[in-house]
Amino acid sequence: MSDLRILAAVLAVAAVTYAMRSGGFLAASAMPQHGLLPRLLRLAPGNLFVAFAAAGILEGGWPSLAGCLGAVTAMAVTKREWAALGGGFAAAALASALA
């Protein structure tokens, strides 16, 4: 690698990213198994999905909305992730071409 400063940046960002990935898991070890926090964690995924999707659609516009509808429809019908991905990409590409 041509520059040690670049290597330092890579290592620093990698350390932070791994700390985020492992930190929640390790911190949760010290957490009680019952109570409000475990309840919140159980309820979190669907809500996180929706918030993530809403922000993504806002950023991506109509093609993203069409792609999301295509993915949800394909998933609901086929129950297969690969079909949902294909349906989503196809709908987004079609909406992009028509826009």
Rule CB under 8 A: which of 23-62 touch another protein? Answer: 23-29, 31, 33, 36, 38-60
Q: Which of 2, 32, 98, 99 binds another protein (CB under 8 A)?
A: 2
Residue found by looking up tokens 């520059």 in the block: 3
Query: What letter represents residue 19's amino acid?
Result: A
- H helix or E strand, kind and range, residue 35: none
Q: Integer distance in angstroms from the first to the last C-alpha of the chain? A: 43
Q: How far is the CB of 94 from another protein (least distance, A)?
A: 12
- H helix or E strand, kind and range, residue 60: helix 36-60
Pull the structure tokens for residue 86. Answer: 């294909």
Q: Considering beta carbons, is residue 33 or 98 the nearer one to another protein?
A: 33
Considering CB under 8 A, how many residues would be counted as binding another protein?
A: 73
Name the nearest CA neighbour of 54 among 44, 64, 63: 64
Pull the structure tokens for residue 95. Answer: 């909406």
Q: What part of residues 70-99 is at the interface with another protein (CB under 8 A)?
A: 71-72, 74-76, 81-82, 84-86, 88-89, 92-93, 96
Q: Considering beta carbons, is residue 82 or 98 the nearer one to another protein?
A: 82
6 forms part of the interface with another protein (CB under 8 A): yes
